[in-house]
Amino acid sequence: MTQLRSTTFLLRPLTPADAPAMAAAVRESRASVGKWMSWAHADYSEAEALDWVAFCEASRADDSAHEFGIFRSDGLGASLGLGPSFVGVAGLNQFNRVNGFCNLGYWVRASAQRQGAALAAIGLLADYAFDRLAQTRVEIVVAAGNAPSLAAARKAGAVYECLARNRLRLHGKAVDAHLLSLLPHASSQGN
């Protein structure tokens, strides 16, 4: 099982045993994450989390996506009341095989935001994309108005390229999104 580590966080593939913690994290975060990700709703169930885990397993098997759970690796998660230290999900997807680039996405539960999880995930996944998946570019697409996600991408060293019109579909509507990129020489290990 592929594991990516920083000083504070561990990224590893999700397992069915993670479904209860993931479902609880999504429900906890419906006001923050749900605003930017249509699937994050107040009634998000363990069955939906299990479906996501199965989708991730299949995507990893056919090499179409590499999704990881984000966990605290320093033991602080339990002391903060974060259950089994689950703090979110991050991954690489939407691979363009011809041109050698992919998308990097992430979300962090409300009670673990502003603690470096997104920053660590971006750094770890960028290194994984460049060093192990031979990508030449990683894109981060952030819905207009999502200031925390935009700030995390910039802090991780992503270069702002443009505001792309109608780039994402959010809650059934086309919305503008910021496009940022990381290149191999700019990648660095997460915190």
Cα(81)–Cα(133) distance, integer angstroms? 35
CA 36 to chain centre: 13
Tokens coding 64: 């179409």
CA-wise closest residue to 41 among 56, 28, 22, 54: 28
The residue among 1 and 171 whose pLDDT is bigger is 171
pLDDT in tens, 160-191: 999 999 999 988 999 999 999 999 975 444 44
pTM: 0.89
Q: For 157-168, how does the pLDDT look when each residue is reduced to its tens digit (9 = 90+)?
A: 999 999 999 999
The DSSP symbol for 40 reads -
Asked if residue 93 lies in contact with residue 164, where contact means CB atoms within 8 angstroms, the answer is: no
**Distance of alpha carbon 64 from alpha carbon 92, whole angstroms:** 9
Domains of the chain, CATH where assigned: 4-186 (3.40.630.30)
Q: How far, in Å, are 4, 89, 90, 124, 181 from residue 63 at the CA level?
A: 17, 18, 16, 18, 21
pLDDT reported for residue 76: 55
